[in-house]
């Protein structure tokens, strides 16, 4: 079963939901605003994808971090920030078995999910 992580109100999430629905792909949605994120899950994402990819540096949550935190960010600290401020995680994050996809990319979705 495919699991999609994110925030329901996010426009990019809506695109991903629409694509999955149009292709009749079943999924389970994990809403960061309503469900906790386990540290082991966040750590696994950072290990597999790199914190630089998992952390959304273009969003307001990143911009609101103090400069010291941004400049000293590493994998361990990224996990802690992700747990404290889930909005900083790039969305959507799709987990399909061993495959992990970040962001909305129809070509990647077609390649890995169909």
Q: pTM here?
A: 0.92
Q: What is the 3-state secondary structure (H, E, C) of 52-85?
A: HHHECCCCHHHHHCCHHHHHCCCHHHHHHHHHHC
pLDDT for 33 equals 87
Please say if 71 is a catalytic residue.
Answer: no
- pLDDT of 111 reads 97
From the CB of residue 51, how many other CB atoms can be counted at a distance below 10 Å? Answer: 19
pLDDT of residue 35: 93
Q: Which of 10, 25, 73, 83 is catalytic?
A: 10
Other CB atoms within 10 Å distance of the CB of residue 102: 17
Beta-strand pair 27-31/93-96: unpaired
Alpha-carbon radius of gyration of the chain: 14
Q: What per-residue confidence (pLDDT) applies to 1? A: 87
Per-residue confidence of the chain (114 residues) as pLDDT tens digits? 899 999 999 999 999 999 999 999 999 999 988 998 999 999 999 999 999 999 999 999 999 999 999 999 999 999 999 999 999 999 999 999 999 999 999 999 999 999
Could you tell me the domains of the chain?
2-113 (3.40.30.10)
């Amino acid at each position: 079963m495919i699991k999609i992580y994110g925030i329901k109100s996010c426009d990019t999430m809506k695109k991903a939901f629409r694509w999955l629905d149009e292709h009749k792909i079943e999924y389970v949605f994990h809403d960061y605003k309503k469900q906790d994120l386990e540290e082991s899950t966040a750590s696994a994402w950072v290990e597999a994808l790199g914190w630089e990819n998992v952390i959304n540096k273009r969003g307001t949550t990143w911009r609101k971090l103090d400069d010291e935190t941004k400049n000293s960010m590493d994998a361990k600290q990224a996990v802690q920030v992700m747990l404290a401020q889930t909005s900083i995680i790039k969305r959507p994050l799709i987990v399909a078995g061993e495959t992990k996809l970040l962001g909305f990319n129809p070509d990647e979705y077609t390649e890995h999910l169909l």
